[in-house]
Amino acid sequence: MTQDKLQIVAMAVAAALAVGTLGLAAAWAVRRLSIAWQLVLVAVVPVLGMLAGVLVVARAMFISEHDLGALTLVAASAAVVSVLVAVVLSRAVVVWSRGLAEEVRRVGSSSPYSAGPARGPAEFRRLSEELAATHHRLKQAREREARLEEARRELVSWVSHDLRTPLAGMRAMSEALEDGMAADPARYHRQIRTEVDRMSRMVDDLFELSRIHAGVLRLAPEPVSLGDLLSEAIAAAEPVAAARTVSVGGSVDPGLEVHADPGALSRVVANLVGNAVRHTAPGGRVDVQGRAVPGGGVEISVSDACGGLAAEDLSRVFDVAWQGSAARTPEQQPSSRGAGLGLAIVAGLVEAHGGTVRVDNQPAGPDGCVPGCRFTVTLP
């Protein structure tokens, strides 16, 4: 009895292997065609393998022609139904895949993107969600690239203007000195030195910004006393603030330290304080604060009385060559105006430390305080 069963199993396996081999050959032949053919083969091959095994075993068992015909009819009917179901399912998969292909074509395009209806297997739906997220990231990247390109053009324009104007002035003054036409040569020398220093600072800023954007900035972090650093920045800004009748002050949590590059962090604070002093109206106040934040971080804030920023300008403050709008308090000394690089350098240095920087408008206080901006640097 056992030997008969083994023979039946052997014949069924042999028939299924034969059909499976033919199925693999057919799958190889249609490998470059639509996935619908593969799905149909996946459904047809098992059914035909079972049918072949049943028919081989039935003939070996000498079943009557009538019974064999009935068995064949039943198996063939099941095979036809299976094939029809496979065709319907394969057609649905093809429709879903075409929908995904259409979504892929829209990803990254400038035309409005909308994900297709959530249908099909879970994998297809997740892929559709990923395509929508990818399109959103690409859109943000294009917008960021457009802003950077606009900033580069503005930078070239501003730097060209800010270099050409003092160069023309120095050339006129040097020619006057050469011709002996200068009424006060010492004043001309001082003015030339002032313009040279300003252009030197501008070139240094450009070099620093290029190092940040090129990713070659090297930091040497060490423990830094935040109280000493902020005190030095306030002391350095006091002469300019006094000339503009602007008061500068602040406070720091006792013993607060941060692990950062001393030179880079000092430049961040100096740029923020200097920017606040330049844009604060006479009689206003610049407030510098340093405090610890939950999680071990450090927060440095610089508040001014510039009158605030327009909503559309808040996102552009740290762009290269951005110099503010008419809403900002105008400079009293045009010669002190930079090329709009200070805040861009601040953002680059803070990001190099793994921190964040943001700006918010501050409303007018109940004590008559002038509205302004608050720049906040958060370092880990």
Q: Which residues constitute the domain of residue 170?
A: 147-214
Question: How many whole angstroms separate alpha carbon 98 and alpha carbon 117?
Answer: 13
Q: Which tokens in the block code for residue 259?
A: 């692990």
The reply to whether 134 falls in a domain is no
Most confident listed range (31-35, 75-79, 298-302): 298-302
pLDDT digits (tens, 9 = 90+) for 86-131: 777 777 777 777 777 777 777 766 666 665 555 667 777 777 777 7
Would the pLDDT of 172 be above 50?
yes
The reply to whether 121 falls in a domain is no
Q: Write down the pLDDT at residue 117.
A: 58
Query: 145-181 burial by CB neighbour count: b if 16+ within 10 A, else e?
Result: eeeeeebeebbeebbeebeeebeeebeebeeeeeeee
Residues 76 and 40 in one domain: yes
Counting every residue, how long is the chain? 380
Q: State the average pLDDT over residues 255-271.
A: 87
Residues 52 and 174 in one domain: no
Would the pLDDT of 330 be above 60?
no
Residues 155 and 74 in one domain: no
Question: How many whole angstroms separate alpha carbon 131 and alpha carbon 126?
Answer: 9
Residues 230 and 303 in one domain: yes
250 sits in the region (left: phi over 0; alpha: psi -120 to 50; else beta) called left
The reply to whether 60 falls in a domain is yes
C-alpha to C-alpha distances, 289 to 225, 254, 260, 303, 370, nearest whole angstrom: 14, 12, 17, 9, 18
What's the domain count of the chain? 3
The enclosing domain of 170 has a CATH number of 1.10.287.130
Residues 207 and 230 in one domain: no
Q: Which tokens in the block code for residue 54?
A: 């049943």
Would the pLDDT of 331 be above 60?
no
Residues 269 and 204 in one domain: no
Q: Write down the pLDDT at residue 352.
A: 85
Q: Write down the pLDDT at residue 108.
A: 64
pLDDT digits (tens, 9 = 90+) for 197-214: 878 877 777 777 777 767
The reply to whether 360 falls in a domain is yes
Contact 297, 379 (CB under 8 A): yes
Contact 315, 347 (CB under 8 A): no
Question: How many whole angstroms separate alpha carbon 338 and alpha carbon 346?
Answer: 14
